[in-house]
Amino acid sequence: MKSAGKIDRTFLVAMAMTMIAIAITSAAPGAWALSTPPLVWNGNSLTYDSGSAPAVAISGTVIVEVHEGASGALWYHTGKIQENGKVTWAAAPAQYDNGYAPSIAINGNTIVEVHQATTSVGALWYRTGTINSNGTVTWAAKAFEYDSGLAPSVAVAGQTVIEVHQAGAGVVALWYHMAEIQMAGTVVWAAAGHQYDTGVAPSVAVAGSTVVEVHQSTTAVGPLFYRSAEIQANGTVIWATGAFQYDTGLAPAVAVSGPSVIEVHQATDVEGDLWYHTAGLQSNGTVTWASAPVEFFTGYAPRVAMAGPTVLEVGVFATGEGSLVSRAAAY
């Protein structure tokens, strides 16, 4: 569908000179101990909407969630994290666009959202928004095409945006595409993306200059892999020399806050057990995973966000367009 094109000489030199030790090492534990699950879930799940393919991001105490509705409508729903760690949701969602498979990231009060134009391989679009002082969202007047593919996922650190997606259907090339948020809140994308791996259903998170990406290795339940990277001062990305298995499952999603990493996934290809897996970012940019995942609920299509000590997971409780539920935890 597309080719990587020529990699510029600056990037090759940087890669040659910056081995960074991103390759996984036996580094000491990071933010979380590797033996005892640190998460304390705050009560039962909370039904907040209906739909499919949810995604969520947090800025301070403000939550912005996006999901698919009927007939390709995309909806957003805002919420707030209370002082006691519980979540309250706005009374109703609102439509902001049309499309499929949305993903969302926030920098301060600036939202970057990405989605597919159709259910098949085709144009990928982004839309920006602004979180208002009262917790509502004002979206840009229109969305813009930035790439093509499937299953986009987006993350933001400061002004830097990194997006990952599949090149097509099945086990295919995985691509990343960089962008920069401007002072006016607009986004300028790099001229082209680059392949970084092969797989299915990628999810990306970033903390500072460190990128953590997770994906399936097959289209069915099987090994889940992660790959780390470092964003350079010139906006290029140097990826670890290989991906590494950290678990087994389906539909992985990852979030990072400071040195703490949390990943969630399905255990099976039907509605069933959901698991989380914690990790710590090391000072050298490596990732050290807890020895085992922990089961926390049932459902499918989980997505996760972090803000300070709060973890928020959203998912679907029934196959198809079903109840959307949220679960909050603290560490």
Q: How confident is the model at residue 322 (pLDDT cuts 50, 70, 90)?
A: confident
Handedness of CA 250, 213, 218, 316 (dihedral sign): positive
Q: How confident is the model at residue 269 (pLDDT cuts 50, 70, 90)?
A: confident
Name residue 52's beta-bridge partners: 68
- Whether residue 282 contacts residue 266, with contact meaning beta carbons closer than 8 Å, is answered with no
Mean pLDDT over residues 211-236, rounded? 95
Assess whether pLDDT exceeds 60 at residue 122.
yes
pLDDT the model gives residue 34: 53
pLDDT the model gives residue 234: 87
- Whether residue 262 contacts residue 310, with contact meaning beta carbons closer than 8 Å, is answered with no
Note the pLDDT tens digit of each residue in 163-207: 999 999 999 999 999 999 998 889 999 999 999 999 999 999 999
- Whether residue 293 contacts residue 304, with contact meaning beta carbons closer than 8 Å, is answered with no
Q: Which of 122-126, 172-176, 201-205, 326-330 has the lowest mean pLDDT?
A: 326-330
pLDDT the model gives residue 219: 96
Assess whether pLDDT exceeds 70 at residue 22.
no
Assess whether pLDDT exceeds 70 at residue 159.
yes
Assess whether pLDDT exceeds 60 at residue 6.
no
- Whether residue 48 contacts residue 324, with contact meaning beta carbons closer than 8 Å, is answered with yes
Mean pLDDT over residues 268-283, rounded? 90
pLDDT the model gives residue 166: 98
Helix (H, G, I), strand (E, B) or coil at 11: helix
Assess whether pLDDT exceeds 60 at residue 320.
no
pTM of the predicted structure, to 2 decimals: 0.89
Neighbours of 71 (CB within 10 A): 6
- Whether residue 131 contacts residue 105, with contact meaning beta carbons closer than 8 Å, is answered with no
Start-to-end Cα distance in the chain: 43
Show the domains of the chain with their CATH numbers: 50-330 (2.120.10.70)
231: Cβ contacts below 8 Å, ≥ 6 apart: 157, 160, 162, 178, 206, 209, 210, 211, 237
